[in-house]
Structure 1
Amino acid sequence: MGRWAEDTAAACRALAPSVALPTADALDAIAARATATPAVVVTGPVSSGKSTLVNALVGRRVAPTGAGECTRLTARYTRGPVDRLDVVLTDGTRRPLPLVDGGRVPASVGDRLGVAPTDVDHLLVTLTSDALDGLTVVDTPGAGSARRPAATVDGPADAEAALVVLPSSARPDEVDRLAGAARRGPPGVVAVLGRADTVGSAADADVVAATLSRRLGPRLGPVTPVVGLLAETATTGALRTPDLQALAALASADRETLATALADPELFLQTALPVDVPARARLLELLDRRGITLAVTLLRERPGAGVGDVCAALLAASGLDEVVARLRAEVRARADLLAAVAAERRVEALAPAELAALRADRPAGRAVPFSGRDAELRADLVEDLRARPFHLDLDLAGATARHRSGALDLPADLGEELELLADPGAALPARLGLGEGELAGHAARRAAAWRGYAAWGTPPARADVAEAVHRGWARIWGELTR
C-alpha cells in the first residue's frame, strides 16, 4: 500500500493509547486492515452470474454455482502457497475441508463438518492463482438470498472496491442495496451487465448496458456487458480436446439443421447431429448456445484451430478483458486511495451520532467525561482524515466515471479536459503541447475558467464537477509556484 493508507494506519495507531480499550482495539484493527491486501466484493442478485464471473476472475472453476448451501455463504478468495479451503464458524474457529471435483468448493459444508449452516460465518479459500496477486475477491450471497452476508468479512459497503453484477432491469434502489454505492460513489465501483447473452445479441447487450450507464451512472459510472460463462470457460482450462472434437463435428454438420437446433437448448439435445447427447450437454454447460455458435463459426473458417484459438475467441466475446482492464485502472491503480477512504468509513462508524449534541451542550470550561472525550477524539480523527488532499483525486475520478457513463453531460472540450486532469499518469505539458515553464500559467488560466463555469448558472451536477476541476488546476498551480 502507499502513502495515504500508511498515513491512515499511523493516525489510528497514534490515537489508540488515548481512548478506551475496546475503541483502541478497533483502531488497531482498522490500521492493520488499511495496509492489508485490498478486497473487491462481488455483489449482485441471485442468479446474476456472480460466481461464474468470480471463477473467471480468479482463473479457476472453484466457486460453487447454482442454488446450493455454499452459494448462500460469503467466500473470500485470496492468494496463498497452496490451494486450501477453511470454513470459518461464527465463533471465529476455522475448520479445514478438502476441495472437491478437481478444486471446487463443495456445494455443502455443514454436513461434511457436522455443523448447521447457520453456524458458518464465511468460507476462506486460498489459491495459488496469479490473478489474486495483490487483490482479494469476496463473493457474497446474491441479493434476495435467505442468508445474510457474513458480519465478520467485507460487506458491500465495507470493502475497498465493489464489482457490481447487474441484471438488465436494475433499479437505483437495488443498486444502493447491492453495493452501498450511494455512500461510496463511482470511485472503486466497477459495474457490469451480468449474463449479457440473455438480453439478445452483442449489439443488444451494448444498448442495454449503455441505458443502465445513463440511468445508474451517478451511483456506478459506466456499465460493461459481460458473458461470465464464456469468460469462465476461456480462463479456467475447462475446454478440453474432446470438446474441440465435438465442436469440429458440429462444424461439419448441415448448417441449417444446426442453426435450427441451436434455437433452443432442448432442441439442441434432441436433434439428430453427429455428436452424442452427453457431449452436447457438456458443450451447453461450458459454452451455452452463443459460445457453441461462436466456436463452430471459428472452426468452419479455420478448421485447424486449436483449443487455445477457441478460448481466445471466447474470451474476446465475453467482455472479461474490459472488466479486468477496468479493475486494473479503477481499483488496483487507486488501491492506496480506496484503502484510505475505506479506513475512514470504519473510523466514522466508531463515532457516536450524539457527538454533535455533546459538543453543543457542554458548558465552557467543564471537564469532559471520559466517554465524551473518547468520542471527541474519534471525531477529531475523522475530521483530520477527511481533510486530506487526496479526496480531490477521488472527486475527479468520480466525475470522470459519471461522464463516461453518459450520466453527466459536459461540452466535448470540457469533458476532454476533465479526463486529462483525472488521469494520474498524465504527462500534462506534453499532452497539452506546452513548453517548459508554461504549465503554471496554463493551470492558473484554466482554474479561473472552471471557477467561472461553476458560477455561471451552471446546473448543480455540472457545477460540482467544475468546482472539482477548478481545485485540480489550482492545486497544480500551487505545486508549481510554491
Structure 2
Amino acid sequence: MTASTTAGAAALIREALEFYRDDPQAAQALQGYARRLAEPLRIAIAGMVKAGKSTLLNAIIGEEIAPTDTGECTRIVTWYRHGHTPRITLHPITGEARNLPLKRVDGRLVFVLDGIPAEEVERLDVEWPAPTLQSMTLIDTPGIASLSQDVSARSVRFLTPEDSPSEADAVIYLMRHMHASDLRFLESFRDTGAGRSGTVNAIAVLSRADEVGAGRIDSLLSAAGIAERYSRDPNLRKLALGVVPVAGLLAQSARTLRQPDFAALQLLATLDRAARERMMLSADRFRRSREPEALTEEARSSLLERYGLFGIRLAVVLIRNGYPEPTPLAHELTRRSGLDPLLDVLDRQFQARAEELKARTALVAVSNLLDSRPRHGTERLAASLERLLVNAHEFRELRLLAALRTTEVELAPELAAEAEQLIGGRGVPAYLRLGVAPDSGPDVLAGEARRRLARWRRVAESPLTARSAVEACRVVVRSCEGVLADCAGRDRQAQSA
C-alpha cells in the first residue's frame, strides 16, 4: 500500500473521531481501529472441531504454546501476540482482567484458568517472545459446527459480527474435507466488513493431510492432488486465495524436535525395512512392539502422540537416507509437512498486503459507523471515505481479484488468468506478478513489465473487449505501470549507491 493511502486511512479515522467525540462508544471503537493500523496483521485460525487449529498455530509459531487437547481452553478465543516477556492475561466477560500463572508440562504451555468456567471468559491474551509474532498476531478460535452451540457461536460472533468488521483482518481456514458448512462460513466471513467490498482475504488449509493417504509416506502427494482440485472448485475459489495441504502434527513436532525424539527415531532406523513395516501396520502394533529392545513403550507412545505413524515412517526413512543430525532432519520434516508452502503463501498473500487489509478494515468501520449512527455534517466524511475506496489502486486490485474469482469479468479465460496474476493473485512481489524467476534483475523485470503493459493497453483499447471488462483492463494497466515505476526506482537507487 502506498504511504498516501495508509495516511489517508489514518486521517479518516481522526476526522471521524472529531465528528463522534461526544459519543463515548463510537469514539472508543474508532480509537481501537486507529491502534489497529499500527499493529501487526491479525490472522485468525478457524475451522471445525478437531481440524487441528491449535496444532497448526504451534507449528507456525515454532513453539508448543497453544493447548491441543479438548480441555476448557480450546473453547476460548485466544490471542497470541508478540511480547518481550511471556505473559497470559485472562479477560472475563464481566470483571477485571487478571494474569494467569505460566506453567509447562512436558515442554508444553498449560493454561490454568484459576477455576473460572470457559463460558465466563471473553478471551485469553498470550504475549510471547516468538519472532513470528512480530509480524502477525494469531488468533485461535473454538471449533465451528461444534456439538456445543455455545462454543460454535463464540467463533461465529467473533469472526463474523453482524454490525462491525471482523476482529480478524484475514483467516486461515482448516478443513479435512470440503463441506457445505465450510463454504457457508467462508461466505459469511467474506460478507462481513472488508469482504463486502470485494476482498478475498482467506487461505484454506487441507489439514491433517497425512490422513488422506492413511499415513503412507506419499500421503502428502495424494493430499496435494485433492487440494489442487478444491482450489479449482468455483464455490471455494471465490472465497479463498488457495488451498494448501499440511500435516499439522508433523509440522508442529518438526518445529519443536527434541533430542529424546531424535534418539528414539535413530533407534528405529537401525531396524531393517521388513521389521519396520511390520511394526508400523497400526498404532497399537507399534506401541506393543518389542523391537528395538532399547526403545521403551513410553518412548513409543510419545513418538505416536507427537508425530503419528506418518511422521515416524518419514523421519526414519530420512535418517537412513542422509539426515543423521537433528537440525537438518527437523528442517526436512518441516518442508515435507507442507508448512513451508503455507508460510510462503502467508508471506506473499497476507503479509505483503498487510497494510491494505488493515486499512480496509478501518475504512469499513467508518462506513458502518456512518450507516448505524448518522448525524448532521458527516457528508464530508462520507465523501472522503468514498474517494479513498474508489481511488486507491490497492483497493481496486482487491475488488478486481474478487471479481475475477467469481467470473464477473467478461474476459477470455487466458486473459482472466493473466490479469489475476498481474494484480497480485499469486502474490504481490513483482516477480510473481510477472511470472519470472525470483532472482530476476531490474532489467528483466522492467522488460517484462513493459511487454505486459503494452499488451494490456491493446486489450483495453480493443473494440472487441467487452465494455464491462474495460475497467478491469485499466486496473491491470495501472498495476503494470506500478511495477515498472518500482523497477525504475530500484534502478535509480542502485546507481546512486
TM-score, normalised to structure 2, is 0.79
How far the C-alpha of 1:262 sits from its partner, in A, is 1.4
- Note if 1:94 corresponds to 2:107: no
Distance 1:245 1:439 in 2: 54
Distance 2:259 2:411 in 1: 50
- Note if 1:63 corresponds to 2:83: no
- Note if 1:393 corresponds to 2:397: yes
The counterpart of 1:454, out of the listed 466, 469, 475, is 466
SS at match of 2:116: coil
SS at match of 1:101: strand
The counterpart of 1:194, out of the listed 199, 202, 207, is 207
How far the C-alpha of 1:442 sits from its partner, in A, is 5.3
Q: Following superposition of structure 1 onto structure 2, how do residues 73-472 of structure 1 map, counting pairs within 5 Å?
A: 73-91=76-94, 93-101=96-104, 104-109=108-113, 112=114, 114-145=115-146, 146=148, 147=151, 148-149=153-154, 157-171=166-180, 173-177=181-185, 180-183=188-191, 184=195, 187-200=200-213, 201-215=219-233, 216-236=236-256, 239-274=257-292, 275-302=295-322, 305-352=324-371, 372-373=375-376, 379-380=382-383, 382-389=385-392, 390-398=394-402, 411-412=413-414, 415-416=417-418, 418-422=420-424, 424-426=428-430, 430-431=444-445, 433=447, 444-449=457-462, 452-455=464-467, 467-472=471-476
The CA deviation string for residues 27-82 of structure 1, in whole angstroms up to 9 with x for no partner, is 23322223322201111111001000000111110000121000010111111111
Contact 1:122/1:153 (<8 A) preserved: no
Distance 1:125 1:255 in 2: 44
- 2:56 aligned partner: 53
CA shift in 2, pair 1:27/1:199, >3 Å:
same
SS at match of 1:373: coil
Aligned residues: 444
CA shift in 2, pair 1:30/1:413, >3 Å:
closer
CA shift in 2, pair 1:256/1:116, >3 Å:
same
Q: AA paired with 1:247?
A: L
- 2:18 aligned partner: 17
Distance 2:411 2:449 in 1: 31
Distance 1:388 1:59 in 2: 40
Q: Which moved more, 1:438-447 or 1:154-163?
A: 438-447
Contact 1:43/1:141 (<8 A) preserved: yes
Distance 1:285 1:311 in 2: 17
TM-score, normalised to structure 1, is 0.81
User: How many percent identity over aligned positions?
Assistant: 30
How far the C-alpha of 1:445 sits from its partner, in A, is 2.0
Contact 2:422/2:476 (<8 A) preserved: no
Calculate the aligned-residue CA RMSD, in Å: 3.4
Unpaired stretches in structure 1, ≥5 consecutive residues: 356-370, 456-462
Q: Which moved more, 1:203-212 or 1:192-201?
A: 203-212
Contact 1:197/1:227 (<8 A) preserved: yes
How far the C-alpha of 1:117 sits from its partner, in A, is 2.4
CA shift in 2, pair 1:409/1:255, >3 Å:
farther
The counterpart of 1:37, out of the listed 31, 36, 40, is 40
SS at match of 1:125: strand
Distance 1:328 1:298 in 2: 28
Contact 2:90/2:98 (<8 A) preserved: yes
CA shift in 2, pair 1:149/1:452, >3 Å:
farther
How far the C-alpha of 1:97 sits from its partner, in A, is 1.1
Distance 1:309 1:77 in 2: 28
Q: Which moved more, 1:53-62 or 1:271-280?
A: 271-280
Distance 2:96 2:457 in 1: 58
Contact 2:43/2:169 (<8 A) preserved: yes
- 2:437 aligned partner: none
Distance 2:298 2:482 in 1: 69
Contact 2:144/2:155 (<8 A) preserved: no
SS at match of 1:253: coil
The CA deviation string for residues 182-211 of structure 1, in whole angstroms up to 9 with x for no partner, is 322663322111111111122220122122
Distance 1:409 1:320 in 2: 35
Q: AA paired with 1:257?
A: A
